[in-house]
Chains A and B, each alone.
Chain A
Amino acid sequence: MQRENEKTYNSLDQVVLDPLFPGVDHRLRTGSHIDMDDIRSYEFLLQAEPFLQLFYEGYDCRLANGQEGYFYLLSEGDLLGHRRLSGAEMLVGQVLALLRMDPAYLKKAGQIPIEQILSHLEMLLGRQRLAEVLAPRTRGRDAEMDNRKIREAVEKAINGLARLGFLTIDRASESVIAARSIARFTEPVRDAREMSAALEELIKLGEVELDDEEQQNEN
């Protein structure tokens, strides 16, 4: 049964002429993820998906639909351009994906304090490794300076992830709420395969890039 206000499209013309198209198209092209919580945009994409797949193919792009209920655009050629997330964004994203699986945050409507992200990063990677990745230095270490740099790198990563629709930030409570799309960070470990095999497949799909040295400041 068709839901109220649900539109159907018979051609790409109709999709492009929908007032929602310019905003959604712009967000997708700038790397944003659009999920079911943004119900109007998500419904639009759901209905227009067949036409938009063809449309974006012309740009060497693929409109991907994550199984948790979110859309994003993957650019596979040079026409539209693409980038990879920074090392800090990758770490913060993975930790958020992990914390989202913790029922302890249900009580606070999924709000995860930024302090918790920092403490989990430290707990999982260890203080020294965290400093090496998030606060790289050519000369000796200074604990106070490292702490400041780690915090700055995490906050910057959170802002970057928010711009891409992976989370929303609640400035008042200094916490974040992970969106459904945060599940993208779990892709390489979704099944019991070796992680390297999963990554190989994700590279073929244009989802992931590998590097043997850290390029965390790329973005």
Chain B
Amino acid sequence: MKRLSVADSIAKTWSLDFTLQLDREDAAFLAGIHTWLAINPDPTLDEEQLRNIYRIVGEVAHNDPASSAQRATSAIARLREQRLMVRTDTAGVIRGGEYSLSLMGNAIAEWFGEQEGLTRKSLEIIMTQIRAGLGQIHLAAEAGGDDAHWESRVSGPLKLTVAQLIEGIERRQQGMDVQQEQIRERIEATLEENWFEAVMSCENLLVTTSEALEELHKVLMHEIEGMTSLLSEIEDLCEKASRTESVEAIEHVRRQIERIGAWGENRFATWSEYYQNVHEFIRSVISVDPDRAVRTRLRDAIKAYGRPLFWFLKVADQGPYVHLRTDTDIRPSQTVEREVKPAGDEIEDAGITGLPLEQTMEEIARKLQSCGQVELLEILSGLLPHHNHHEVYILAGELAEFLIRQGAPLPLHDQSWHRLGKGIEIQELTVRQRKS
């Protein structure tokens, strides 16, 4: 089977013009239908049964009983329109139909239900079944036979039995992801609520989950190694017999196996990191502030910052070393011959003299006075919307000179070039007010 590319898949789904909207009531209704189908021998339910289920939803949601029938009709229609529920009979509109959940409806309802996690026991049982299946496929591939033999004994079992068993592991892995997420949330909520008293119970949770993941990781790594070599042997046999379909089925199974292996690696590493983070948090935050007093005092201190005193942390600040440019830093220069013009001509030519420039300079001087320092990049960024890049280029030179006359330039800590509109890059120039 040819696999769709990501782009193909997006285009195909886009063309379906399908949207899914499930509010709280519809989700609860869907879960109710799913459970009804699971506990009853009938594979379908009729409209009356659907309405009975919806009545419970209405009670939980405290809906007006008078509108229950109307709401049930709408909810049934919504689930059908969104293909979450399908009509399984062909009776048309004369009498009420028979309904069941679609694959999508089932999947969503299962997701709402309890997530089935992966345990060492369940993993070992499934892995044993997969190994047994692959063993039989290996024997069948060795024996060889006609087209029917390869289809029913090799490619068929690979696609149906083995692939589905691995899907079972993947499903449980997803369930375990949800469980881990819940454990994280529980740890954070417990720490927030009980702080120091919660440390012991959180550590227990962390250790239990870590041990479970480590066990699974070990089992996965061990089993995957054996399965991969068995698959390679089957693949060799299929290639020798030129069974393309079987080779493709093997590739599919191999990808699935790689995925469950990567899951094990990834989740083990992620959990280890989380484990360390929580321990670091307990050690450096909770243990040093067991009654949360520092946290409270810090919050109060921020609220009162600057009232009446500002306090500032001090840091060492050696001036930058002389910046010796290497050959590679030297930009290629190009000699342009032009008439030497008296100073100030460029400004006049560009038509940016007069009031606007004077105003800008006055504003800079005022800002320097009030704030203590100004930055060239900020000034030019403000001028950018009103001038083209040629004018900004000229202004940059003019204003840099003006700034240096007005204040004391600070040492250049950041030597990077900043883009300023199209075609101009400048280095920052910060000027501080001169001390009188």
Chain A residues with a Cβ under 8 A of chain B = 28-31, 61, 68, 72-75, 80-87, 90-91, 93-95, 97-98, 100-104, 106-107, 109-110, 124-125, 133, 136, 138, 163-164, 180, 183-186, 188-190, 192, 195, 199, 206-215, 217-218
Q: Which residues of B are found within 8 Å of A102, using beta-carbon distances? A: 192
Q: Nearest-CB distance from A19 to chain B (Å)?
A: 18
Residues of the A chain whose Cβ atoms lie less than 8 Å from the Cβ of B313:
84-85, 90, 93, 184-185, 207-208
CB pair B277–A104 under 8 Å, yes or no, is no
Given contacts A74-B314, A110-B277, A136-B370, 17 further A-B contacts (CB under 8 A): A68-B284, A97-B298, A98-B299, A102-B192, A103-B192, A106-B184, A107-B185, A109-B277, A133-B305, A136-B371, A163-B414, A164-B315, A185-B313, A189-B298, A189-B301, A208-B313, A212-B309
- Contact status B312-A84, CB under 8 Å: yes
Query: For the complex, is B281 an interface residue (Cβ under 8 Å from A)?
Result: yes
Contacts of B302 in A (CB 8 A): 91, 94-95, 98, 124-125
Q: In the complex, what residues of B have CB within 8 A of residue A192's CB?
A: 293, 297
Contact status A30-B316, CB under 8 Å: yes
- Is B311 a contact partner of A104 (Cβ separation < 8 A)? no
A180 touches B310 (CB 8 A): no
A207-B314 CB under 8 A given contacts A125-B302, A138-B370: yes
Can you list 5 A-B pairs with a CB-CB distance of less than 8 A?
A: A29-B318, A85-B312, A106-B188, A109-B274, A212-B309
Overall SS of chain A's interface: mixed
Residue of B nearest to A107 (CB): B184
Question: Which residues of chain A are near B274, meaning CB under 8 Å?
Answer: 106-107, 109
Question: Which of A100, A109, A138 is in CB contact (< 8 Å) with B273?
Answer: A109
Determine whether B252 belongs to the interface, using a CB cutoff of 8 Å to chain A.
no
Tell me the smallest distance from the CB of B414 to a CB of chain A, in Å. 8
Q: In the complex, which residues of chain B have a beta carbon less than 8 angstroms from the beta carbon of A29?
A: 316, 318
Q: Are A75 and B281 in contact (CB under 8 A)?
A: no
Q: Is the CB of B315 within 8 A of A85?
A: yes
**Which chain A residues lie closer than 8 Å to B298 at the CB level?**
94, 97-98, 101, 185-186, 189
Q: How far is the CB of B17 from chain A (nearest CB, A)?
A: 32
Contact indicator B317/A83 (Cβ below 8 Å):
yes
The minimal Cβ–Cβ distance linking B4 to chain A, given in whole angstroms, is: 28
Q: Are B281 and A106 in contact (CB under 8 A)?
A: yes
Let me know if B413 is at the binding interface, CB within 8 A. yes
Most buried by A among B188, B192, B278, B318: B318
Q: Within the assembled complex, what's the spacing in Å between the Cα atoms of A142 and B319?
A: 38
Contacts of B414 in A (CB 8 A): 163
Considering the chains assembled together, what is the distance between the CA atoms of A124 and B171 in angstroms? 45
Query: How long is the Cα–Cα vector from A35 to B188 in the complex, in angstroms?
Result: 25
Report B-chain residues with C-beta under 8 Å of the C-beta of A180.
284
Inter-subunit contact A210/B295 (CB<8 Å): no
